[in-house]
Structure 1
Amino acid sequence: MMSVMMTCIYTECINLFCPAVKHSLKFITTASSGLPDFPECVVAAVVDEILVGYCDGSKKTTDLKHDWMKKVLEDDPHQLEYYKGACFDIMPTFFKLTINSLKQRFNQSGGVHILQRLSGCEWDDETREVIGFNQYGYDGEDFLSIDLKTETWIAPRQQAVLTKLKWDADKARMKSNQNYLTVIFPEWLKKYLDYGRSFLLRTELPSVSLLQKTRSSPVSCLATGFYPHRASLVWRKDGEELHEEVDHGEILPNHDGTFQMSVDLNLSSVTPEDWTRYDCVFQLSVKPMVVLAVILIGAAGFIIYKKKKAAMLTRIVTKVHSNFITSSSAVASRHYAHFLVILLPLSTFLQALGRVIFLSFE
């Protein structure tokens, strides 16, 4: 067992040099044909990549995941009625008819078929810019999407051209889409952020781990338990981000409303003398609610597992702890974006591996 002092770099940057903080509201509709044990039509509402509720159009049931979302609909019964009407009547009927039409268009008589729609908006809470989107996919491929600037529909597949021409000529449909995607949905998103402020606008730091299955396997840097999802994880050499010999994983949700991500580094061409030149960097974009993170201390412990027979999994887990001070009104008024950066040296991990005695457990 050994202790490792970790380095934490916390920087402030003016908006010109920092990515804007954007919030999103997404409605994901999935309809199916040929799946007897799967709902024919399900709609999920997602705010900043967090599932806040969904409904089953076939069973006419809803499931709200947070008390603050229930409060929103209690205070806004018109919105509740919209959701019920859309989920229980409009969407199931529209998607069922559309799937039947597409099966004929694609010359399909049976089998499993999936029609999906992703609609909603992004809202920049600093520039106030709104971006609306509405796109359809059929059997795993893009089918149709809206272009609000040209007020037309984009058809990437030949089978979608007929629908594109029909919807391009339907000016009322376009106006309705514009209203929902750029006016109504952004208003709802702002309301959700207000009601769910303590949950949606919180900041949680990750636990950062370095994992290696065998001595010849890539070293995986895993960050888990962070929030919000606006984060990056990279390997660096001599302070420069690496783009070769690395494999980036996607940002994935955890069951508790936080996120995880990983990035692998191929060590096959790295000599022990060069270990100190590498580090893993986690960067989290947060608002001025948290303006300072002080020294981070990682306690590294060695845990050895037997996997199947001779395969061993060596894991060094580094828990990240920190202390914060909240922003003063003077600091908050500058409207800075902030980044928390955690540096995890590769040399510490690999040097520790050299001291581990590989054991066999029955």
Structure 2
Amino acid sequence: MLRRSNSHLYKMVNWWRRGDSVSSWILILMLFAFRETQAVHHRNELQFTKVFMNLSVSDFTVAGFIDDVQWLSYDKLNKQIIVKEVWISDALGTNFIEDMNRFMRRHEGGGYIVTYFLTGNDPNNKRNHTKQLFVGCELDDGIQLKSKARLGWDGEDMMETDDHTKHWVFLNPRAQKLKPVTESSFWTNEIELSSKKYCVGVVQNIFRNSSIKENLPPKVYVSRHDSPNGTITFSCLATGFYPRSILLIWKKTPEPAKWGKESSSGTLPNADDTFYLHVTLELLPGDSGEGYTCVVEHSELQKPAIYPVPGKPPRKWLWAIAVSILAVFILGLSCAKVFITWNKKNKTGTTSQSQLKGPISSPTIHLQ
């Protein structure tokens, strides 16, 4: 949903200061309500991967993720970015996307200086090398909280930026060779452009011109199924949550537990652009299933949520016996009622017949 800008907050405060008749406690409630509507956190990540062969680029891929949902890729054949969602493309606008296309084409054709410094004295420099650049940022209602850039080479982390000093920190001794590169104005400008305009700027443009889905906590449902063959299966479903990242695990008290066969649906989208995750656990033979819980962690939960598994359901044959006894009892009551009713009617009928006949009187004999 669209969020109000901070100017609304300042207007409310100034309105109260001008002496308008509103009590302070109402203002406090308004501020708290305003704060609740503002608490929306989002993350944007850009991943650049480039494969070099003999100082020439043999492959170049780009992927962009907002809250773990991919929104961007790069078509190297046509040399242009592909925005996965139409509403994001509309929010960014044609000019912004074209600027980003030029930046991607420039980035695709560059990077040789890093390759030269890292492979200049390598006798095997004719083999393929992979350079990975990660740029990430986190925002709260469009306000930048932090940003990070990291450079990898052939699967190893080389260096990353310090979020406070904005300087590069070398994570690998080989990365010291890149010190002249990191001190160049061109390199600094390119990384800053990646972070500010195409990481932070993307989210801010979406906030201004469209919307990002509101963060939602998961709804969790836990169930137990006992099969006739004695197999016990637990099910834990977390659904309706956003963003996508979630952790769902089984725990048993007391530990340790002998785990059975576990399966997962993976995190998948719902029709309303939220996500769901379904995990099942089939217990080993002999495990009673007592003490198991489903533990869920998500950014919208203040702490891990614990959901106990339901206990063992009553046996079906007990239900059958209970139903049979109840049926016999009802049948007995019905028969007794019928018998009592019939008996009453029978007695009533006999009395009426005797009354109709009347008493038998003896004939009177008169003697002459």
TM (norm. structure 2) is: 0.56
- The one of 99, 115, 120 aligned to 2:131: 115
1:73 corresponding residue in structure 2: 92
Contact 2:236 2:294 in 1 (8 A): yes
* Mapping for residues 1-362 of structure 1, pairs under 5 Å: 22-33=41-52, 40-74=59-93, 77=95, 79-88=96-105, 90-96=106-112, 98-99=114-115, 101-125=117-141, 128=143, 130-163=145-178, 165-170=179-184, 173-174=187-188, 177-178=191-192, 181=195, 185-193=199-207, 195=209, 197=211, 200-201=213-214, 203=216, 221=236, 223=238, 226-237=241-252, 254=268, 259=275, 271-272=287-288, 275-286=289-300, 343=307, 345=309, 347=311
SS at match of 2:107: helix
CA deviation map 1:35-70 (0-9, x unaligned): 9xx972122221111111211345313322111122
Q: How large is the RMSD of aligned CA atoms in angstroms?
A: 4.9
State how many pairs are aligned.
Answer: 272
Contact 1:231 1:284 in 2 (8 A): yes
Following the alignment from structure 1 to structure 2, what is the Cα–Cα distance between the partners of residues 142 and 70? 32
Residues 55/182 of structure 1: CA separation in 2 closer, same or farther (3 Å cut): closer
Unaligned runs of 5+ in 1: 1-19, 287-336, 353-362
CA deviation map 1:333-353 (0-9, x unaligned): xxxx7789583616459x99x
CA deviation map 1:290-333 (0-9, x unaligned): xxxxxxxxxxxxxxxxxxxxxxxxxxxxxxxxxxxxxxxxxxxx
SS at match of 2:174: helix
Deviation at 1:130, TM superposition (A): 1.3
Contact 2:74 2:80 in 1 (8 A): yes
218-227 or 112-121, larger mean C-alpha shift = 218-227
Residues 252/140 of structure 1: CA separation in 2 closer, same or farther (3 Å cut): farther
Deviation at 1:80, TM superposition (A): 1.8
Deviation at 1:270, TM superposition (A): 8.2
TM (norm. structure 1) is: 0.56
Structure with the largest fraction of helix: 2
180-189 or 24-33, larger mean C-alpha shift = 180-189
Following the alignment from structure 1 to structure 2, what is the Cα–Cα distance between the partners of residues 115 and 211? 48
Query: Match of 1:188, as an amino acid?
Result: V
Deviation at 1:188, TM superposition (A): 2.7
Identity %: 19
Structure with the largest fraction of strand: 1
- Which has the greater radius of gyration? 2
SS at match of 1:200: coil
SS at match of 1:160: helix
Residues 94/230 of structure 1: CA separation in 2 closer, same or farther (3 Å cut): same
Unaligned runs of 5+ in 2: 1-38, 317-368
Following the alignment from structure 1 to structure 2, what is the Cα–Cα distance between the partners of residues 266 and 340? 23
Query: Match of 1:59, as an amino acid?
Result: N
Deviation at 1:120, TM superposition (A): 2.6
Residues 234/279 of structure 1: CA separation in 2 closer, same or farther (3 Å cut): same
SS at match of 2:124: coil
Q: Which structure ranks higher in relative contact order (CA pairs < 8 Å, sequence separation ≥ 6)?
A: 1
Query: Match of 2:71, as an amino acid?
Result: V
Contact 2:216 2:243 in 1 (8 A): yes
